[in-house]
Amino acid sequence: MMGKLTREAVVEQALEIGSAEGLQAVTIRRLAQELGVTPMALYWHFKNKEQLIIGMADHLIEGFVVTGDPARPWQEQLRELVIGLIKVLRRYPCAAPVLEEVDHMAVPSFLRVWDTALGLCERARFSPEESCLISKYLLQGAIALAAGPMNRRPGMSEPDAAERLRLKRVTLQSLPPDTYPHIVKMAAPLAEGGPAELYDTFGVDILTAGVEAMAARLLAARTPG
């Protein structure tokens, strides 16, 4: 079995366990058990759990590359980058915890996405300092959207998830309406999050529209009147 065991198979199994039971359930011993090998067989690929988590993070984003195209508007490409990142991260519910656990500098796939975001900000004529901040806000925003209420918590069944939402809605509706009138009024969408499509498109609009508006103001300020 050891000759057939690939790095990809190890990280995919780790992501499956993390998504089903939480990242704390991902151990070298558990992985070896699931893959039918000895723990020593996994050390050929990952010497410890820290390296395994880095491998998981890299696998999450591997293959997702948005190449800057000077012929296309940077606004379109920036939006596609955010949408695409959300899509690939949503394949695994444990994606956000994995990315929170690692140093992004150690994840080549993440660095490629980050570099692309910086290049698009540069094309929009933001300063290096502004580009760094914008790229961080966008990437962190995409990670947060991917991990939002549209993703079920690890280990939670459909009935459990429905009951959790019901209890949250009832709790919000039971707040004093004189003190929290808007929360009580909007208890259902606050608890349930609304349609998945609206959640994503609205979130991406909020993230990218601010960048586009800032770029337009900068261009107007730097254009001779």
For residue 188, give the 3-state DSSP assignment.
helix
- Please tell me the predicted confidence (pLDDT) of residue 80: 93
pLDDT given at position 149: 62
Number of H helices, E strands in the chain: 12, 0
Q: Which of 93, 73, 83, 121 is nearest to 26 (CA)?
A: 93
Query: What is the pLDDT tens value at each position of the chain, 225 positions in all?
Result: 445 789 999 999 999 999 999 999 999 999 999 999 998 989 889 999 999 999 999 999 987 877 767 889 999 999 999 999 999 998 999 999 999 999 999 999 999 999 999 999 999 999 999 999 999 999 999 999 988 765 555 555 667 778 888 899 999 999 999 999 999 999 998 888 777 778 888 999 999 999 999 999 988 887 765
pLDDT at residue number 221: 82
Describe the chain by its helix, strand, coil percentages, rounded to 5: 70, 0, 30
**CA proximity to 212, closest of 110, 116, 114, 120:** 120
Predicted pLDDT of residue 66: 72
- The confidence score (pLDDT) of residue 2 equals 43
Instruction: Report the C-alpha gap between 172 and 176 in whole angstroms.
Output: 9
CB 34 within 8 A of CB 17: yes
What confidence score (pLDDT) does residue 1 get? Answer: 41
The residue among 104, 137, 131 whose CA lies nearest residue 119 is 131
CA 181 to chain centre: 33
- Retrieve residue 22's tokens: 């939480």
Type of residue at 119 = G
Q: At what angle do helices 128-146 and 108-123 cross, to 10 degrees?
A: 130
